[in-house]
């Protein structure tokens, strides 16, 4: 029984290439319509919290004999209530998520700076220092422009992430296609 491995690999590469192009288009749309993509991202996050809350509720009931049942119920309730709140009040959710992102980046930036100075005797410690400074600046920019940046910030960042994921996927797919073509040429 002979199989066409080369044909299957080409199909996988082409499928990956199409997905990469689709991600690029979606990323560009998200960047072009940042308010819409922000609402979409916030709603998606709300649905994830609600789903997680129900999963935790099922887990709590299945493991109630193992202890901590009340705490597991409270935790699942917190997830569900937070998700519903974000779903019902998306503007408040967007403001909250923007503040959380700014706080996260400020905290990460401080930790990166501390790490950089602890790594100072090592070679290339300045890369960590640069990362910390940039992260700290990004967090400060979010905080100092709040709440004016909230309607577009999360959607833009999600769009940029999707765009670069698509670009890297296209690059990897084209590289794999080139490697496959070279391997076929040398084996022929």
Q: For residue 96, is pLDDT > 60?
A: yes
Whether the CB-CB separation of 75 and 91 falls below 8 Å is answered with: no
Q: What are φ and ψ of residue 4, in 5° steps?
A: -95, 80
Question: Cβ-count burial of 87 within 10 angstroms (0-12 exposed, 13-18 middle, 19+ buried)?
Answer: middle
Q: What is the pLDDT of residues 116-174, one digit of tens each?
A: 999 888 888 888 899 889 989 988 998 999 888 888 988 888 888 899 988 988 988 88
User: Domain locations in the chain?
Assistant: 12-177
Q: For residue 1, is pLDDT > 70?
A: no
Q: What is the dihedral of CA 135, 129, 111, 151, to 10 degrees?
A: 0
Give the DSSP letter string of 90-149. HHHHHHHHHHHHHHHHHHHHHHHHHHHHHSTTSTTHHHHHHHHHHHHHHHHHHHHHTTTT
């Amino acid at each position: 029984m002979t199989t066409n491995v080369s044909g299957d690999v080409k199909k996988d590469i082409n499928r990956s290439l199409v997905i990469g192009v689709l991600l690029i288009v979606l990323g560009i749309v998200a960047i072009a319509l940042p308010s819409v993509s922000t609402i979409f991202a916030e709603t998606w996050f709300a649905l994830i919290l609600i789903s997680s809350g129900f999963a935790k509720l099922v887990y709590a009931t299945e493991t109630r004999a193992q202890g901590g049942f009340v705490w597991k119920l409270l935790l699942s309730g917190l997830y569900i209530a937070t998700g519903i709140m974000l779903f019902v009040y998306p503007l408040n959710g967007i403001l909250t998520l923007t503040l959380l992102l700014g706080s996260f980046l400020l905290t990460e930036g401080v930790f990166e700076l501390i790490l950089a100075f602890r790594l100072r005797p090592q070679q290339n410690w300045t890369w960590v220092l640069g990362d910390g400074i940039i992260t700290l600046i990004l967090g400060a920019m979010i905080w100092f422009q709040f709440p004016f940046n909230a309607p577009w910030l999360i959607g833009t960042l999600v769009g940029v992430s999707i765009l670069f994921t698509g670009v890297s996927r296209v690059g990897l797919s084209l590289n794999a296609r080139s490697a496959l073509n070279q391997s076929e040429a040398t084996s022929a």
